[in-house]
Amino acid sequence: MKYRMTDEYIEVFGVRLHRIEALISFSNIRKGELGGYIEKENNLSQYGAAWVFGNAKVFGNAKVCGNACVCGDAWVYGNACVCGDAEVYDDAKVYGDAWVCGDACVFGNAKVCGDAKVCGNADYIVFKNWWSSGRYFTFTFSNKKWSVGCFYGTSDELVKKAIGDSEESGREYKRVVDYVNSIINEKEGGEE
């Protein structure tokens, strides 16, 4: 076994999460080092170099395995899976049936949810809302969906919602959607 669940815990959504402690040294983790919080042993593999750092939280049926790491104040929950050499950090959230794998990184305030799969860093693109909130938002190429705050949907749905919020917001989101569409068109044109 590479870690144990300590008696130190916090509660999230009424679920008790225990801080983890390394029982052996591996990768850049030293024996006795404290990690983040998990609900149960199934959340973090006892094999490989996978680790939950800092105040990060993994719970529900979520799994972290391989050499993946979850750190900062990131949350991984539901049926989500973070595997391979993937990293989830800052205030990012991965939940639902989402997968983050390969060399993918999810960071900032990004949310990966639903049936999204982020498999390598070419599968998604992250933007910063420069016109109002300063929050990050993400487009995933594999399912052509946007994750913006609590919103998750298609490009058309995003622009429609943004226009309903404000004219400026609609205009700026449309600009970003048009940019992403130009990337998609270039990729599809290059594959013919």
pLDDT at 168: 92
Task: Give the N- to C-terminal CA distance of the chain in Å, as an integer.
Answer: 50
45 and 69 fall within a common domain: yes
Dump pLDDT digits (tens) for 22-75. 999 998 899 999 999 999 999 999 999 999 999 999 999 999 999 999 999 999
140 and 84 fall within a common domain: no
**Do residues 72 and 56 make contact, with C-beta atoms less than 8 angstroms apart?**
yes
Distances (CA, A) of 136 to 66, 129, 191: 27, 6, 30
Helices 167-190 and 155-165, axial angle in degrees (round to 10): 160
pLDDT at 192: 42
**Residue where one domain finishes, among candidates 120, 138, 170:** 120
Sequence-ordered list of residues with C-beta below 8 angstroms from that of 69, at least 6 positions apart, any chain: 50, 51, 52, 53, 86, 87, 88, 89
144 and 191 fall within a common domain: yes
Domain residue limits at 29: 1-120
103 and 171 fall within a common domain: no
**Residue where one domain finishes, among candidates 75, 98, 120:** 120
Number of domains forming the structure of the chain = 2
**Residue where one domain finishes, among candidates 86, 120, 154:** 120
Single pTM value for the model: 0.68
Dump pLDDT digits (tens) for 65-110. 999 999 999 999 999 999 988 899 888 999 988 888 877 888 777 7
17 and 82 fall within a common domain: yes
